[in-house]
């Protein structure tokens, strides 16, 4: 049992002890006699809504509970459908759980929804909570259930008053009146009153015979009811329900109505039937306007919405009896056969021995009974004896009644036998399965023996009628049935009395009724909903005038289009053709709808084009964005909105333009983080549009509820703005004053406006980047040490960088004075005939870069000049002062010349190696002494003239000197050209480039062989 909620005073005590005194949860719980969970719960609620103790102390009890109650409600994670209204909508023809799920998925496409399986499971759970009389779903205007109360109401003046009860299937709207007697005549009279009460005619009137009322087995009563049904264009099913579980369809609804009325009238005394009639009306009024417990509305509202629009119109005159009723209208049982005629045969196929014995005893006095315990024996008996009726109660796992029924219908000799299915268990789809299989009737066990006997008489008469019809149909079979059965159009033949004499497979499929049911049945009785429609008008005109008719008909119940035609035949009947053109019609409607949508989108595109044209004339950034925002707000039919720019440095969104919002609102949301705390932040974080259909139902925005209320905002959408490279630029948001979800067309147009905003923002960033780039280029050009000058297409100076200006200033020339002057003819005439002038003409003519080193006499300096052609015949000139370099190179050449002169004149062997020890220079003395060409000693080839015993130590010493950049002093033997080995003393030092980089060793080797000999 759920514990009662604590009082507001205790809630205040919890907040005071925690926020004011600072006690722990455990201390507060002990002090107030509560659990720690309750204490934590209310402290958490207060924290969630930002409630502190000074504010809570001033609140009344109602204000405190309202504050905590409203804020603590958490929305259901899934959008929950309105199952009550959905249950009622299933009464509309064509509506199914699948179509309702598709509608639910479309309505809440941007939110979390159930899958189809979950959707159905929750719906069935909801249905189980309904009363038994409300669980079944019936099509609007399809069925009216009627019966009589089990017990009559005694009258103080003598006699009793019988109560006739009726209720509509879809809405359960109730009707009751007093019947003078329990007869078919009174039943019809009360049914006429019920139809007048409902102001229309349903397709079926189902009369519950479980109370013994409506004895329609007698021929006279049967004809009376048929006449009543024909007059109103409906069908009467005067039988007990086949399946006990389906009592919710025909029995439980009227039983519920009976209990309601008996409860109201059981403690009252009535003198006459008129008093009872007067007391019934207030009871009905209260019942029909009493709200449903789990469904929206009441019976009267549901009737006006679901049943009333689908009812057929009442005829101009009410039904009148052809003859006055007699005193005794109770039907007598028809004998199974007249005197002298053989008894009719009944085949009982029942696997349960006890039930089989019971049915044998039930029918043995009036019929010839043949029984079989299983399907194969039953089929064999049916083929041998050809009974007038088969009763099958066979159960699985053996072949059941459906298998036997299929086998009988497959044989021409047994296809006309009437078949009653006895279901061994409850089956929700018994009527649908039985009809599809071709059964003529069905009952659920246990059943009423009297009811079964009554059905048996009707089924035997049906079999005899079918067999007679089968014999009379021989002339129709002369028609090439193969061709007729192969037609995709439904074909049906009726005689002059509108009796259906033939229908092909397509017609059977369209009618959704078995051929055996429709054969020899009156067309208007088989299809009562067509009475009073265009179909009846055209068909009767074709029958009367004997002229063909063709027309299109729309069935509001099935929501289908049919092309129909009627062609007279020689025997007085007509052939009826029907072709389903629903797809074609829907394609036409879709095309018309597409044209309308295209027209609307073209208008929107025109407005968008005008906006784009106006934006071209707006150079300022913020007014352009404001123009886009205003157009988007106008297109969506709202009044407020913002555009925010994304700041990647802080990962926040900042409002740059807005419309219709207060200063307080803009200050609060001026800068928001890219998270789920705001819709725009969530859109930026997840990279997709966020739509909040009702902000009051979304817990994420509970903290902003007061601010949203003051701004008049109930729903909003936020569309992220992405650049061409997928880079987040900002968010465009619009707000709505009522719960709202934009249409797909509006969202598509909003995407186009978002692209306009993206173009403007990208233009802003591009211009800023271009300015930064230009500033950077200027900085780079001014930072280079080389002079840069640019010429236009006429070879006039247009730009000098800082280095070029400095060069010119060193020669006493102001660079600005050269702007606009021609390069060779005005500014530097002396260069027109030297190498620089020739290189310039070559680069301008061939549009290729040119480079030249030139001595410019007026300045007395050397320059390296590079010419680079640019677009539009412009030219860039890069000038580098190389006077110092030229001087250095000249000195270096002189030094090298002296070195070579000394080396070649020296009697010693002078050599030079690189950093790898490879010879790069040898003086001519090597050739004279060794007798080997110098080219053959270059690189590592000099190793071959060194004595093998000395080579390893010499190479090691050389490598060490190279590694350490140190001095080399070593003795080594080499082979002279006459073959004699001579001792050389080598002395080498490292040498470096002008930049100080180590380049190898330079050394001299002197022949010391004679000195060594003398020393010995």
Q: How many helices and strands, by DSSP H and E, does the chain display? A: 37, 32
Query: Containing H/E element for 436?
Result: helix 430-437
Averaged pLDDT score across all residues of the chain: 80
| Confidence tier at 599 by pLDDT (50, 70, 90) | low
**The residue to which tokens 């049935």 are assigned:** 481
The pLDDT assigned to 719 comes to 92
Residue 619: per-residue pLDDT:
59
The radius of gyration of the chain from alpha carbons, rounded to an integer in Å, stands at 54
Evaluate whether 734 touches 688 at the Cβ level (below 8 Å). no
DSSP secondary structure letters along 500-540: EEEE-HHHHHHHTS-HHHHTTSBHHHH-GGGTTSHHHHHHH
% of the chain surpassing 70 pLDDT? 85
Q: Which residues have C-beta within 8 Å of that of residue 485, sequence separation ≥ 6?
A: 504, 505
To the question of pTM greater than 0.75 for the whole model, the response is: no
H or E element in which residue 552 lies: strand 549-555
Q: Angle at CA 403, nearest 5°, toward 400 and 405?
A: 105
The 10 Å Cβ neighbour count of residue 530 is 17
Pairing of strands 640-647, 235-237: unpaired
Q: pLDDT-derived band of residue 682, with 50, 70 and 90 as boundaries?
A: confident
- Which strands make up the sheet holding 787-791, listed edge to edge? 797-800, 787-791, 875-881, 861-869, 850-856
Q: Which residues contact 704 (CB under 8 A, 6 or more apart)?
A: 668, 678
Please name the residue ranges forming H helices in 669-827: 679-686, 705-711, 744-783, 802-810
Top mean-pLDDT range of 432-446, 504-518, 561-575: 561-575
**What is the signed CA dihedral for 869, 871, 872, 876, rounded to 10 degrees?**
-40
Q: Are 623 and 748 in contact (CB under 8 A)?
A: no
The C-alpha atoms of residue 958 and residue 260 are separated, in whole angstroms, by 124
Tell me the average pLDDT across 897-919: 81
Residue 717's nearest CA partner among 752, 743, 755 is 743
Cα–Cα distances in Å, from 546 out to 221, 551, 978? Answer: 36, 16, 142
* Contact (CB, 8 A) for 8 and 64: yes
Q: d(Cα 428, Cα 431) in Å, to the nearest integer? A: 8
Place of tokens 């007679």: 468
Opening angle at CA 460, ends 455 and 461, nearest 5: 100
Which helix (H) or strand (E) covers residue 482, if one does? helix 481-485
In angstroms, the first-to-last Cα distance of the chain is 128
Nearest Cα residue to 369 out of 353, 352, 385, 393: 385
Tell whether the model's pLDDT for residue 74 goes beyond 80. no
- Pairing relationship of beta strands 389-392 and 418-423 according to DSSP bridges: parallel
- Is a pLDDT exceeding 90 seen at residue 110? no
Secondary structure percentages of the chain, helix, strand, coil, to 5: 50, 20, 30
**Banded pLDDT at 240 (limits 50, 70, 90):** very low
What pLDDT is stored for residue 734 in this prediction? 92
Confidence of residue 220 (pLDDT cuts 50, 70, 90): low
**Do residues 143 and 203 lie in contact, with contact meaning Cβ atoms separated by under 8 Å?**
yes
Residue written as tokens 């295209």?
598
Q: Which 3 state secondary structure label does DSSP give 432?
A: helix
One DSSP character per residue, 753-766 reads: HHHHHHHHHHHHHH
More confident residue, 73 or 582: 582
Task: Compute the average pLDDT of residues 168-196.
Answer: 86
The per-residue pLDDT for 287 is 87
pLDDT tens digits for 387-399? 999 988 877 666 7
Residues 6+ apart with CB under 8 A from 900: none
Q: Which residues does 317 contact at the CB level (< 8 Å), separation at least 6? A: none
Determine the distance from the C-alpha atom of residue 807 to the mean position of all C-alpha atoms in its chain, rounded to a whole number: 71
Q: Residue 957: name the closest of 971, 973, 941, 968 by CA.
A: 968
CA-CA-CA-CA torsion for 216, 217, 219, 220, nearest 10 degrees?
-30
What is each CA distance from 18 to 24, 50, 71, 72, 676, in whole angstroms? 7, 14, 20, 19, 31
Phi and psi of 865, rounded to 5°? -115, 130
Residues β-bridged to residue 861: 856
Residue 51: what pLDDT? 84
The CA-based angle 452-458-460, given to 5 degrees, is: 100
Task: Record the tokens describing residue 144, joined without a space.
Answer: 């009216």
């Amino acid at each position: 049992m759920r514990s009662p909620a604590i009082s507001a005073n205790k809630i205040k005590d919890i907040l005071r002890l925690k926020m004011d005194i600072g006690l722990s949860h455990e201390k507060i719980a002990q002090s107030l006699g509560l659990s720690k969970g309750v204490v934590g719960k209310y402290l958490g609620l207060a924290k969630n809504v930002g409630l502190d103790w000074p504010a809570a102390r001033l609140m009344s009890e109602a204000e405190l509970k309202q504050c905590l109650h409203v804020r603590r409600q958490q929305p259901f994670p899934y959008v929950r459908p309105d199952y009550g209204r959905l249950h009622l909508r299933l009464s509309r023809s064509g509506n199914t759980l699948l179509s309702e799920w598709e509608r639910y998925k479309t309505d809440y496409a941007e939110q979390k929804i159930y899958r189809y399986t979950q959707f159905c499971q929750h719906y069935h759970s909801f249905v189980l909570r309904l009363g038994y009389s409300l669980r079944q779903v019936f099509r609007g205007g399809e069925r009216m259930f009627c019966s009589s109360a089990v017990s009559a109401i005694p009258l103080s003046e003598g006699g009793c008053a019988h109560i006739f009860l009726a209720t509509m299937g879809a809405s359960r709207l109730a009707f009751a009146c007093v019947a003078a007697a329990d007869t078919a005549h009174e039943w019809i009279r009360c049914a006429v009153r019920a139809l007048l009460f409902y102001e229309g005619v349903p397709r079926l009137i189902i009369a519950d015979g479980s109370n013994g009322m409506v004895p329609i087995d007698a021929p006279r009563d049967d004809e009376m009811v048929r006449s009543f049904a024909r007059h109103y264009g409906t069908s009467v099913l005067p039988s007990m329900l086949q399946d006990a579980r389906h009592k919710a369809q025909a029995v439980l609804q009227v039983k519920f109505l009976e209990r309601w009325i008996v409860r109201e009238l059981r403690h009252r005394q009535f003198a006459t039937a008129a008093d009872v009639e007067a007391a019934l009306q207030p009871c009905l009024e209260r019942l029909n306007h009493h709200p449903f417990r789990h469904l929206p509305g009441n019976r009267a509202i549901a009737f006006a919405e679901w049943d009333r629009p689908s009812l057929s119109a009442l005829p101009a005159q009410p039904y009148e009896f052809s003859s006055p009723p007699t005193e005794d209208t109770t039907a007598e049982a028809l004998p199974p056969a007249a005197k002298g005629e053989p008894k009719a045969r009944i085949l009982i196929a029942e696997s349960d021995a006890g039930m089989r014995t019971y049915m044998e005893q039930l029918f043995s006095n009036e019929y010839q009974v043949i029984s079989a315990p299983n399907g194969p024996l039953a089929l064999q008996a049916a083929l041998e004896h050809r009974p007038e009726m088969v009763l099958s109660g066979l159960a699985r796992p053996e072949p059941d009644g459906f298998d036997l029924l299929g086998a009988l219908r497959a044989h021409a000799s047994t296809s006309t036998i009437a078949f009653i299915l006895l279901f061994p268990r409850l089956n929700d789809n018994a009527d649908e399965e039985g009809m599809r299989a071709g059964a003529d009737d069905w009952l659920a066990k246990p059943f009423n023996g009297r009811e079964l006997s009554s059905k048996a008489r009707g089924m035997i008469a049906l079999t005899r009628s079918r067999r007679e019809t089968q014999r009379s149909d021989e002339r129709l079979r002369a028609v090439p049935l193969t061709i007729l059965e192969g037609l995709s159009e439904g074909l049906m033949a009726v005689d002059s009395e509108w009796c259906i004499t033939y229908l092909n497979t397509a017609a059977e499929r369209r009618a959704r009724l078995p051929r055996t049911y429709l054969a020899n049945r009156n067309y208007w009785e088989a299809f009562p909903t067509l009475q009073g429609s265009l179909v009846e008008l055209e068909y009767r005109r074709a029958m009367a005038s004997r002229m063909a008719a063709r027309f299109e008909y729309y069935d509001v119940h099935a929501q289908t289009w049919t092309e129909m035609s009627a062609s007279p035949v020689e025997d007085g009947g007509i052939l009826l053709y029907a072709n389903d053109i629903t797809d074609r019609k829907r394609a036409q409607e879709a095309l018309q709808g597409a044209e309308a949508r295209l027209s609307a989108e073209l208008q929107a595109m025109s407005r968008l084009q005008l906006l784009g044209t106006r934006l071209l004339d707006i150079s300022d950034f913020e007014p352009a964005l404001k123009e886009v925002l205003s157009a988007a707000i106008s297109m969506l039919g709202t009044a407020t909105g913002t555009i925010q720019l994304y700041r990647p440095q802080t990962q926040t969104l900042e409002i740059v333009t807005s419309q219709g919002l207060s200063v307080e609102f803009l200050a609060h949301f001026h800068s928001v983080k890219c998270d789920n705390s705001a819709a725009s932040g969530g859109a930026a974080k997840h990279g997709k549009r966020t739509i909040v259909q009702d902000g009051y139902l979304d817990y994420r925005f509970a903290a902003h509820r007061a601010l949203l209320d003051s701004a008049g905002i109930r729903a909003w959408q936020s569309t992220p703005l992405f650049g061409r490279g997928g880079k987040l630029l900002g968010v465009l948001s619009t707000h709505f004053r009522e719960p709202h979800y934009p249409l797909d067309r509006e969202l598509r147009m909003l995407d186009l406006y978002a692209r306009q905003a993206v173009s403007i923002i990208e233009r802003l960033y591009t211009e800023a980047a271009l300015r930064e780039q230009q500033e950077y280029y200027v900085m780079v050009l001014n930072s280079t040490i080389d002079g840069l000058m640019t010429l236009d297409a006429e070879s006039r100076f247009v730009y000098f960088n800082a280095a070029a200006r400095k060069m010119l200033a060193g020669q006493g020339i102001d660079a600005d004075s050269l702007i606009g002057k021609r390069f060779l003819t005005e500014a530097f005439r002396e260069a027109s005939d030297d190498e620089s002038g020739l290189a310039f003409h070559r680069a301008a003519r061939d549009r290729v870069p040119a480079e030249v080193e030139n001595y410019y006499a007026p300045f007395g300096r050397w320059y390296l000049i590079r010419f680079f052609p640019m677009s539009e015949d412009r030219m860039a000139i890069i000038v580098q002062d190389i006077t110092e370099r030229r001087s250095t190179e000249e000195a270096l050449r002189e030094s090298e010349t002296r070195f070579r002169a000394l080396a070649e004149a020296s009697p010693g062997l002078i050599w030079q190696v690189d950093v790898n020890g490879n010879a790069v220079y040898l003086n001519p003395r090597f050739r004279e002494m060794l007798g080997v060409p110098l080219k053959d000693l270059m690189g590592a080839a000099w190793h071959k003239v060194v004595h093998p015993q000395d080579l390893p130590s010499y190479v090691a010493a050389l490598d060490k000197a190279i590694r350490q950049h140190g001095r080399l002093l070593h003795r080594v033997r080499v082979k002279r050209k006459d073959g004699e080995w001579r001792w050389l003393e080598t002395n080498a030092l490292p040498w470096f480039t002008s930049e100080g980089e180590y380049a190898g060793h330079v050394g001299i080797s002197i022949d010391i062989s004679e000195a060594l000999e003398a020393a010995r």
